[in-house]
Amino acid sequence: MILRALVLRPILREPLRTTLTILGIAVGVAVVVAIALSNQSALRAFSESVDAVAGRANYQIVSDVAFSEDVLRALQPFWPRGVRFAPVIDAEGIVEPSQQPIRLLGVDLLSDLHFRDYRYASVVTSGKESAATYLSLFGNDSVVLPATFAHDHGLHLGSPLILNIHGVRRTMIVRGLLEARGPATAFNGAIVIADIAVVQAAFGLEGRITRIDLIVPDVSLIPAIQRVVPASARLERPSRRNERVEKMLRAFRVNLFALAGVALLVGMFLVYNTVLISILRRGKDVGVLKTLGTSASQVFAAFLIEGLVFGAVGSVAGIALGRGLAWVILRLIGRTINALYVNSTPEAIELTPGIIAAGIAVGTILSLLSAIQPSIEAAQLRPSLLLSGAVWRRQPTRPDQAPASSPHRAQIAVAIVCFVIAVLLSRLPAWNGIAVAGYAAVLFVVAGFSALAALIVTGASRLLRAPYRSAFGIVGELASASIPASLRRTSIASAALSLAIGMMVAVALMVGSFRETVRVWVDQTVSSDLWLRPAKGLSNADSALFPNAISADLAKIPFIAAFDRARGRGVLYNDDRVLLASGDFAVAARFGDLPMIAPGKSSEALGNAIARNGVVVSESFSLKYSKGVGDDIALTTIHGRRSFPITGVYRDYSNDRGVVAMDRGLFIRSFDDDAISTVVIYLKPGIDRDTARRSLESTLGPKYHAFAVTNGEIRGEVMKIFDQTFLITYALLAVAIVVAVLGVINTLAALILERKRELALLRVLGMTVAQVRRMLVLESSVLGLTSTAAGLAMGYVLSWILIYVINKQSFGWTIAFHTPVRLIATSLAVTFVASLIAGLVPSRLARRIDLAMAMKAE
Amino acid sequence: MRIRLDHVTHAYAGSDESAAVQVLGDISLDIASGDFAVLMGASGSGKSTLLNLIGAVDKPTAGRIFLDDSETSLLDDSRLTMLRRRSIGYIFQFFNLIPTLNVFENVAFPLSLANAPRSEVKSRVAEALTSVGLGNRATHYPNELSGGEMQRAAIARAVVHNPPLILADEPTGNLDSKNGEMILDLIRSIHKSRRPTIVMATHSERAAGYGDYVIEVADGRVTPNPRSATPVSPTPETRNPTPAT
């Protein structure tokens, strides 16, 4: 009965407010669910591919470079002890001319059945049903494809397929099609399988393999196996790769969840506000029920259940909404993950019981938490106070009233404590690569500003009173006076809106600063005239390569002053995957301008690297591993572990995992890899870029499938990838703003319902409906202006933490502070207009007030 | 301002026609300009509804209402608003001051709505506040005033724009007897000095004695026709607490 009287009936009787609150929670939950779903999908795609390719192997001997297959002989003694092993060549490449990235898996098709399930859909046969049926698969140009891939690309048995693997182009023939199971499902079916001997012969890998898959029945054999592993390789479980990828993406994922958290936090404010407003509006009913004998705990439980109902319904709606949102996010973050981390085609979105449970838990628990404080307040108040309506009555603030009254002093004190804690937290180092203290500092800054919300609303309304009076007359004066009069309701709405605006400003500042920094960096680093690439885009840079033979052809071209051949690959350092880059340092020292941190001149760092067989490392590497000029780093080369002195640290924003760069000569000697991913070309003075470009493409295009791009195009491409990467950030913040605006609509609607009598009085005294509506919109403009101002201030503080603490600890990038004035001005204008619109929606309620009834009710 | 009601009926709508509650039935009234009429009746008799109909706050279900020559039941919402703004002053039982404005601003409210010049607002509000004895409380907010002070401020607001009609709904209903008497004296003196038409609803016989005559309201009807109502003496000394017959 109590529940029906205090909660259920009012919820049903106020459909607008109920819907707005549920929508607010739903949107918050949807964002979290969507990010969890899309992360899961992106990661699952990768890990399932790894699992499908690894098959039944429980250990692998892997290396960053191809190693001699002699190790197979060393493994023979383990065969009688139940150990099974299979050599594998696992290489990335592209299909030409479509430039579709593809994975080439070279396996021993006969012995590999221990490890992987192959089910042939069809093969080229000699027409006889015998073992010889499959012999065609071992032909020196034979490859096997998943039937789905063949279908999608118009291939069938006997079709030629041009593969470019490590810069070597070969035309292979499709001689078998696989059903979609086992390895045929890896990388979304973009995989080509061939006999290992065929791969070795076709792509210049004779006598070498990249991996050995093992089935080890007894773990006690591991130390013995470890002893036969070559120096350039390591023995590990297949799951280690997934763990490394997971770790690599962790900071990125945490950042996304933190942003989703903003939407949820704003949603929490909304629930808090809704429950508080419910209590304010039903104060007298609570008083009556208490007078009739309802206990404090029953009142507490009733309002807590209200929070629970909102949370549960909002969560369920949020999960459904989140599934749709995940689809959009997946497209956005999929591109980022591919561009910055690993190649992986995200799989279909699967709503797992875990995610459903997490979504419901997040929504309901946070709603419950938000409802606790106002519920306690309602439970503890004396019935006489509630009945008289003396509590929470609209209290005017005097324009001349001193702000530092005792509740204000307490709020200021709380805010100061929060800010001090935030400062201390922002000085703490990262924990496990995650800027935990930085995120906590953000929370404390938000808490500090929220504590000041009431003071800010009062102060801003006071400041606005005179200008509003002069601009809008009595309507403006009433509007500016009205907001602080309902401080308990309005300050929470304002805090929520400030938080959303603050985060938006902070991220806009962070992204704007980052963008400007990257732009300056790109302008400095991309100083060459042309880039010659084996593929058009940047995103499949690792898959498409030139053979070293192109060097000789380039040397013959008369208009080229110099060229720098770049090649990068992933290597393990401290069990993390970092990027090992190489280039012609002598050319880079003479023609390029690498932005250095130490020493000051890039020519000095690069010259020393050549002279001492050393490396230069990126800033993120230097910060992550605390290594600088003068230190040594050890890398596993084909000759085993080798130490390289660091001769320079340079700025790099292309990679947050860390980059180690060495001269091409040293790279080839150390990793036996002379392929080229990009040729950076410097033209002789007076040579026209477009003419040179056309000439290069006509000379080298047919032979190497080479594309020449100008530095302007490269810069444009980099900035395009940058903007795509941060699209999701803006999308998430827009959601937070939507939730906050819902909060403002909710609050204003509640205020109107609560002030029916006051509004009716204004109408009786001669205010027109239009004037009342104008007043309500002006009230929301007071909230909008207040929140915008507070949000702007909060945004600057938060951006400082984002740029100098979280970003630095998560990604190791130094960013120069830059205010993107236009972006911020536009964002603020949009949110301010949104807050005005938030006033328009409930102001329609004013028209429906029945004057006689409202005046009658007391 | 002359007030005429011609066979006015008013009912509050129910969930269906049969559930509609008739509050006033077939009322005809004629209150001459400058009269101080008292609507008297028990709680729930319909006097507040009648006052709302006269004050253009509500519209009758049937019948016609005239304020001077204007038939208010035919006016649209914006004209009714203008009528209330310019021609009517309200005094309520629960004072109904705007909590977010101070006393000066509350009193100035009708003038502000009419966009009166600032200097005029200042002088007229000061005059109105002085006339109700609140000259020294101009900067106080409603929650800083006593009940009597709040009602005096409400009276100042009702008269500041010099309306030809003042409606008072139980103006002493929320006050002690001493303050109640002070308020009634004030209303009486306003009537004497400015000669607006005043219609006051009350259930108090004592308060009814302050009017020129009494219109009794019972069960949604007025008895008898007020034009034949017994006028009472306009002077406090000769107040006649006896209800008119």
A515-524 per-position pLDDT tens digit: 888 888 888 8
A324, amino acid identity = G
Tell me the mean pLDDT in the region A779-784.
86
pLDDT recorded at residue A639: 86
At A634 the three-state DSSP class reads: strand
Q: How confident is the model at residue A666 (pLDDT cuts 50, 70, 90)?
A: very high
Q: What is the pLDDT of residue B238?
A: 35
> At A32, is the pLDDT very low, low, confident or very high (cuts 50, 70, 90)?
confident
Q: Which residues of A touch B95 (CB under 8 A)?
A: none
The reply to whether A656 falls in a domain is yes
User: Looking at the partner chain, which of B57, B101, B108 has a beta carbon nearest the beta carbon of A852?
Assistant: B57
Specify whether A387 is located in the same domain as A448: no
Q: List, as ranges, residues 11-40 from B with C-beta within 8 Å of A.
A: none
Q: What is the DSSP string of A18-44?
A: HHHHHHHHHHHHHHHHHHHHHHHHHHH
| Choice among A37-51, A387-401, B44-58 with the minimum mean pLDDT | A387-401
Give residue B136's pLDDT: 92
Query: Which among B85, B101, B139 is the nearest to A478, CB-wise?
Result: B101
User: Among A780, A742, A819, A810, which residue's Cα sits nearest to residue A259?
Assistant: A810
Q: Which pLDDT score, from 0 to 100, does residue A389 have?
A: 56
Query: How far away is chain B from the Cα of A312, in angstroms, using its nearest Cα?
Result: 34
Nearest chain B residue to A461 by CA distance is: B100
Residues of B in contact with A758 (CB under 8 A): 98-99
Nearest Cβ partner for A485 among B93, B100, B105: B100
Best A474, A490, A757 member to test B by mutation, with max B CBs in 10 Å, is: A474
CB of B104 within 8 Å of a chain A CB? The answer is no
Which neighbouring-strand residues pair with A645?
A632
pTM of the entire predicted model: 0.71
Given this model, what pLDDT does residue A393 score? 56
Instruction: Give me B8's structure tokens.
Output: 């006015």
Chain B positions in Cβ-Cβ contact with residue A473 (cut-off 8 Å): 112, 115
Same domain, A197 and A270: no
Side chain identity at A738, as an amino acid letter?
A: V
pLDDT category of residue A398 using cuts at 50, 70 and 90: low
Instruction: Tell me what pLDDT residue B96 has.
Output: 81
| A256 and A367 fall within a common domain | yes
Residue B236's pLDDT is what? 42
Mean pLDDT over A188-217 rounds to 88
Which residues of chain A neighbour B48 with C-beta distances below 8 Å?
856
In a domain, A403, yes or no: no
Residue A827 lies in a domain: yes
Give dist(CA B47, CA B219) in Å, integer. Answer: 10
Cβ contacts (< 8 Å) between A769 and chain B: which residues?
77, 81
At residue A733, does pLDDT exceed 60?
yes
Measured from the Cβ of residue B166, the count of other Cβ atoms closer than 10 Å reads: 24
Maximum CA pair distance of chain B? 55
Which domains, ranges and CATH numbers included, belong to chain B? 3-98+164-238 (3.40.50.300)
CB contact (8 A) between residue B84 and residue A765: yes
- Name the residue in chain B with its Cα closest to that of A761: B96
| Residue A401 domain flag | no
Domain identity same for A210 and A264:
no
Q: Is residue A811 one of the residues assigned to a domain?
A: yes
- Which residues partner with A680 through β-bridges? A531, A564
Q: Report yes or no on A541 lying in a domain.
A: no
Tally of CB atoms within 10 A around A584: 23
Radius of gyration of chain A (CA): 33
Least confidently predicted of A351-360, A420-429, A596-605: A351-360
* Closest approach of B116 to chain A, Cα-based (Å): 11
A contact test, residue of B23, B57, B58, B118 with most A CBs within 10 A: B57
Q: What's the pLDDT score for residue A345? A: 55
Report chain B residues whose CB lies below 8 A from the CB of A483. Answer: none
Tell me, yes or no, whether A779 and A790 share the same domain.
yes
Q: 56-85 in B: which are within 8 Å (CB) of A?
A: 57-58, 77-78, 81-82, 84-85
With beta carbons under 8 A apart, name residues in chain B contacting A765: 84-85, 90, 109-110, 113, 157
Using one digit for the tens of pLDDT, what is the confidence trace for A624-635? 898 999 999 999
The parent domain of residue A760 ranges over 410-525+715-858
Q: What tens digit of pLDDT does each residue of A439-468 get? A: 899 999 999 998 998 888 888 888 888 899
If one counts the domains in chain A, the total is 4
Q: Report residue B209: phi and psi, to 5°.
A: -65, -15
Residues A48 and A62 in one domain: no
Contacts with A851 from chain B: Cβ below 8 Å = 52, 57-58
CB of A310 closer than 8 Å to CB of A369: no
Whether the CB-CB separation of A292 and A311 falls below 8 Å is answered with no
Asked if A151 and A85 count as a contact pair (C-beta separation under 8 A), the reply is no
A756: nearest Cα among A838, A836, A848 = A848
In angstroms, the first-to-last Cα distance of chain B is 25
Cα distances from A57 to residues A112, A175, A377, A657, A822, in angstroms, run 11, 26, 61, 28, 56
**Statement: residue A390 has pLDDT above 80:** no
Residue A771 contacts B where some CB pair is shorter than 8 Å = yes
By percentage, how much of chain A surpasses pLDDT 90? 16
State CA A386 to chain mean position distance.
Answer: 48
| pLDDT tier, A251 (very low <50, low <70, confident <90, very high otherwise) | low
Which among B99, B109, B110 is the nearest to A396, CB-wise? B99
Distance from CA of A818 to the nearest CA of B (A): 43
| pLDDT of A614 higher than 80 | yes
Of A171, A202, A237, which residue is a domain's last?
A: A237
Assess whether A273 and A414 both reside in one domain.
no
Residue A622, both tokens:
């230097």
Q: Is residue A398 part of a domain?
A: no
With CA atoms as reference, the chain B residue closest to A484 would be B100
Close Cβ partners of A172 (under 8 Å, ≥ 6 residues apart): A141, A142, A143, A160, A161, A162, A163, A192, A194, A202
Same-domain status, A344 and A489: no
Show which of A204, A237, A270 is a domain's final residue.
Answer: A237
Q: How far is B106 from chain A (nearest CA, A)?
A: 10
Interface test with B, best of A765, A773, A858 (most B CBs within 10 A): A765
Q: Which residues in chain B touch residue A485, judged by CB atoms under 8 angstroms apart?
A: 99-100
The nearest CA of chain A is from the CA of B210 a distance in Å of 24
Q: Are B132 and B153 in contact (CB under 8 A)?
A: yes
A470, A764, A769, A782, best to mutate vs chain B, most B CBs in 10 Å: A764
Q: Which residue ranges in chain B fall short of pLDDT 50? A: 225, 227-245
Tell me the range of A489-498, A799-808, B25-34 where mean pLDDT is highest: B25-34
Q: pLDDT-derived band of residue A582, with 50, 70 and 90 as boundaries?
A: very high
- Alpha-carbon distance of A818 to A714, in angstroms, equals 23
Judgement on whether residues A513 and A414 belong to the same structural domain of the protein? yes
Reference B210, options B185, B175, B178, B177; nearest CA is B185
Of A394, A769, A771, the CB nearest to B99: A394
A303 within domain boundaries: yes
State which residue of chain A sits closest to B111, comparing Cα positions: A474
- Please report residues of B whose CB lies closer than 8 A to that of A481: 100-101
pLDDT band, very low/low/confident/very high, at A586 (cuts 50, 70, 90): very high
User: Is a pLDDT exceeding 50 seen at residue A137?
Assistant: yes
Q: Which residues of A17-42 are buried (b: 16+ CB within 10 A; e: fewer)?
A: bbebbbbbbbbbbbbbbbbbbbbbbb
User: Looking at the predicted structure, is the pLDDT value of residue A839 above 60?
Assistant: yes
Nearest-Cα distance to chain A for B35, in Å, is: 22
Lowest mean pLDDT, pick from A143-152, A643-652, A744-753, A797-806: A744-753
Confidence band, pLDDT 50/70/90 cuts, at residue A333: low
Question: Given A237, A260, A280, which residue is the final one in a domain?
Answer: A237
Chain A partners within 8 Å of B108 (Cβ): 474
Q: Does A766 contact B85 at a Cβ distance shorter than 8 Å?
A: yes
- pLDDT at position B228 is 45
Structure tokens at A834: 């949104």
Please report the number of interchain residue pairs, chain A to chain B, with beta-carbon separation below 8 angstroms.
84
Among all residues of chain A, which has the CA nearest to that of B161? A765
**Looking at chain A, which residue has its C-alpha nearest residue B81?**
A766
Same domain? For A270 and A385 the reply is: yes
Q: Which residue of A has its CA nearest to B86?
A: A766
Q: Do B113 and A767 touch (CB under 8 A)?
A: yes
Subunit contact B81:A856, Cβ cutoff 8 A: no
Question: Which residues from chain B sit within 8 angstroms of residue A398, using beta carbons?
Answer: 102, 139, 141
**Are A700 and A777 in a shared domain?**
no
Say yes or no to pLDDT of A690 above 50. Answer: yes
**Test the A interface: residue of B77, B98, B150 with most A CBs within 10 Å:** B98
Among A212-216, A313-317, A645-649, B236-240, the range scoring the smallest mean pLDDT is B236-240
Q: Any CB–CB contact under 8 A between B94 and chain A?
A: yes
Interface check A478 vs B, CB under 8 A? yes
Q: How many residues does chain A have?
A: 858
Domain check: are A551 and A422 in the same one? no
Specify the higher pLDDT residue, A536 or A748: A748
The structure tokens listed for A240 are 């280690």
* Helix, coil or strand: residue A230: coil
